[in-house]
Structure 1
């Protein structure tokens, strides 16, 4: 993947929500409002496309090894009766990522930003950055970092205004923010339109939340500024789901981290490594 030098895609007068997570959304919902229970399952992004439409096709399951033919040989020898051939090892993903979720990570991906929630309805989570080495092993290269997700937790069937963060595996390819590029390897769009007025669910100021953002490829056009409002799945499926600067409380659908961590993340994510975010409650992404 090559880094773009020219930005495409429309911009808006105000930032895409997360860009609409301003006063209106926040003031209407109480942080103690009961959360609905969405359908179980993990919804993953198709590579380079809006994730809520079609999950990636799982790879074929690894079949257990079968006994080697007992042609001849002394007891205990390979091929002798009572012995088996070595069983192929199933791929091992980043810690906490189960075999089903692992099949949704593209073969070419060498960076995975894993955001794990404690349960389906919690708004606090933990983020860790992993990289896959030449031997195929996933090594931690950043974190763990505290993070926030949506007020009502998580969902595998996200809709606009449900105040839940989509569960799944999504591409990370575009960044931006109100502040200058801190050294991002991803294409970075500095723009004054990255603003977040108003207050959050806990009454905390939202100012500075969009100083740095990384667009999560949920219902958006990959390869454009995070400010692009085009929604391939329609406005009713939500959008503007970003990783952005934490404001000290739950989000509407985004993932938020401290400003220092956002700068570190922007410097670490490398388009040549085809980075993705794997996010959801532990029980879901651990499947």
Structure 2
């Protein structure tokens, strides 16, 4: 595993102004083979449970954006277009289809979701994005992702509901929206320009809506970090349920 050297600390206030903390991703067409039904002969009297070939809840438009090589998918399903509540499920893909892990409660941006994220709009971007880089204020928990540990992940102040933001960036995973993959989550390169926002992360929940990120409990962030494997080409599929069903 490659570990980034700590970067110069960035002001937490700056992190919060542009997201929660990152490049637009061109994804290849979905593998047509992924939609073919599996065939198997069950034992007499035994019901055969077949894992779905398509990620549950995704329509043809969204499903086509999931890279054929992806074997891990973090699916973030928003409760509504304008809701800050969502759920997160890690799916693992095998030869028989996608298998779901536990479902975790999550927060997304204060104003919900958008197909065209802009800096400061307080909405999380809808889409399919690769996951290549992680980091945090706490030391590497043992993830296979490149991990940047440093004080640049310090969060201060309060959230939209008066909750403390301290500890929010103890563990983060950069969402490759408007950022350069293969760099620390603190890298501020914005391929689409600053106006399109960035700094979109998966990070520790602070019990309130985010600026644009997705947040889950600390123990679930640690579990996710330990599960993700670059060799399995992980992605995040995120958006409100209606948009994902397109």
> Does the CA contact (< 8 Å) of 1:194 and 1:211 recur in 2?
yes
**Which segments of 5 or more consecutive residues in structure 1 lack a partner in the other structure?**
27-48, 63-90
Match of 2:40 in 1: none
Match of 2:225 in 1: 266
Match of 2:59 in 1: 98
2:133 to 158, 162, 174: 174
How big is the shift at 1:56? 3.7
Match of 2:212 in 1: 253
More helix by share: 2
How big is the shift at 1:12? 5.2
Q: TM-score, normalised by structure 1?
A: 0.73
> Does the CA contact (< 8 Å) of 1:16 and 1:228 recur in 2?
no
Match of 2:49 in 1: none
Deviation track 1:160-215 (CA, whole Å, cap 9, x = no partner) reads 00000000000001000000111111111110110111000000000000000000
Distance 2:31 2:175 in 1: 27
Distance verdict in 2 for CA 1:107–1:57, change over 3 Å: closer
**Residue 241 in structure 1 maps to residue 200 in structure 2:** yes
The higher radius of gyration belongs to: 1
How big is the shift at 1:4? 3.1
Could you list the structure 1 runs, at least 4 aligned residues long, displaced by more than 2 angstroms after superposition: 3-8, 10-17, 55-62
2:93 to 108, 113, 132: 132
**Which segments of 5 or more consecutive residues in structure 2 lack a partner in the other structure?**
34-51
Distance 2:106 2:24 in 1: 23
Distance verdict in 2 for CA 1:211–1:21, change over 3 Å: farther
**Residue 14 in structure 1 maps to residue 11 in structure 2:** yes
Distance 1:154 1:214 in 2: 19
C-alpha RMSD over aligned residues: 2.4
Match of 1:37 in 2: none
Distance 1:58 1:107 in 2: 7
SS in 1 for 2:152: coil
2:169 to 210, 222, 237: 210
Match of 1:189 in 2: 148
How big is the shift at 1:92? 3.1
* Aligned residue-pair number: 226
Distance 2:243 2:150 in 1: 36
Distance verdict in 2 for CA 1:15–1:226, change over 3 Å: farther
Distance 1:96 1:149 in 2: 18
> Does the CA contact (< 8 Å) of 1:172 and 1:277 recur in 2?
yes
Distance 1:211 1:60 in 2: 36
Deviation track 1:32-62 (CA, whole Å, cap 9, x = no partner) reads xxxxxxxxxxxxxxxxx524xxx54645989
Q: TM-score, normalised by structure 2?
A: 0.85
